[in-house]
Every structure is written in C-alpha cells, then in structure tokens.
C-alpha cells in the first residue's frame, strides 16, 4: 500500500513539474509519453 502511495506522489510531482516548466523537460526525462517530436 505504501508503495502505491509513493508512486502516486511521484506522479503528482511529475505532473506539477510538467505544468510549471513545460512538457519539453518531461519529454526528455521520460521518452515514450508521446510528447516528444
């Protein structure tokens, strides 16, 4: 259960980071999300 919460927390951080810095950084961190050119 704690592992699931940790994953959700990380995802929330990634989403927040994407919203503030833009999807370009997110695409570089995680290729395959569909945001790369």
pLDDT of residue 3: 93
Is 1 in a helix, a strand, or coil?
coil
The string of pLDDT tens digits covering residues 6-25 is: 999 998 888 777 666 555 65
Q: What is the pLDDT of residue 22?
A: 58
Residue 16: alpha-carbon gap to chain centroid = 8
Q: 14-26: buried (b, 16+ CB within 10 Å) or exposed (e) per residue?
A: eeeebeeeeeeeb
pLDDT at 13: 83
Q: What is the pTM of this model?
A: 0.44
Q: Mean pLDDT, to the nearest integer, of 21-34?
A: 57
Enumerate the H helices of the chain as residue ranges.
Answer: 2-21, 23-29
Domain coordinates of the chain in residue numbers? Answer: 1-29
């Amino acid at each position: 259960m704690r592992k699931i919460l940790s994953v959700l927390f990380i995802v929330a951080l990634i989403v927040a980071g994407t919203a503030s810095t833009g999807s370009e950084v997110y695409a570089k961190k995680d290729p395959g999300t569909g945001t790369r050119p």
